[in-house]
Amino acid sequence: MDELDSEIVRLLQTDARQSNRELARQLGIAPSTCLERVRALHRRGVIRGYHADIDPAALNRSVQALVSVQVRPLNRVVIDAFKGFASGLPEVLHVFVLSGGDDFLLHVAVQDLDHLHAFLTDRLSKRGEITGFRTSVIFQQVSNTAPARLPTPG
């Protein structure tokens, strides 16, 4: 990644909906050069996609929680099976596979505390590979919206 690639990434993180022409104008380069650079960033996997940032509360999912999960036996088959199960649940926003004391961290969003309780008792506690889980309700969430930057050589 050179400085131009870094600036493309920064500008797209700020507003991924801007046109190629607008992006090129901000960079001071030809639209064809900009388009080729963006395509190369896609091919190299730097840009993985674009998405809409949706407020879960607007979808009647205002209660969010982090659920730490431990599974046994700890092997690839169990890890892959649980990861597939959890990522398919409509309540689950993110699945993180971890090292350390917990094996998974699930970010869930539900309608209310009753639905959170039902998720934990009806979905998680019935899974045989789960040996334990802990739940932390999220009161507030602050996101780092500053665009990612490459470290400067020092």
Dihedral, CA of residue 38, residue 43, residue 45 and residue 51, to nearest 10: 60
Q: Calculate mean pLDDT across residues 69-95.
A: 97
- The total of other beta-carbon atoms located within 10 Å of residue 130's CB is 17
- Which residue, 82, 80, 87, 66, is CA-closest to 131? 82
Token output for 54:
């949706």
Pick the CATH number of 56-138 from 3.30.70.920, 3.30.70.2740, 3.30.70.3450, 3.30.1490.20: 3.30.70.920
Q: pTM surpassing 0.85?
A: no
**Residue 153: pLDDT over 80:** no
- pLDDT value at residue 97: 98
Q: What is the CATH number of domain 3-43?
A: 1.10.10.10
- pLDDT value at residue 144: 78
Each residue of 14-61: pLDDT tens digit?
Answer: 899 999 999 999 999 999 999 999 999 999 999 999 988 889 999 999
In the chain, domain spans: 3-43, 56-138
Q: Calculate mean pLDDT across residues 103-117.
A: 98
The residue type at 73: P
Quick check: 108 and 67 in contact, CB under 8 A?
Answer: yes
**Residue 145: pLDDT over 80:** no
Q: Calculate mean pLDDT across residues 122-148.
A: 90
Q: What would you measure as the largest C-alpha separation in the chain, in angstroms? A: 58
In this predicted structure, which of 8-12, 96-100, 129-133, 143-147 has the lowest mean pLDDT? 143-147
Instruction: Write down the residue that tokens 């990522």 correspond to.
Output: 87
- pLDDT value at residue 51: 86
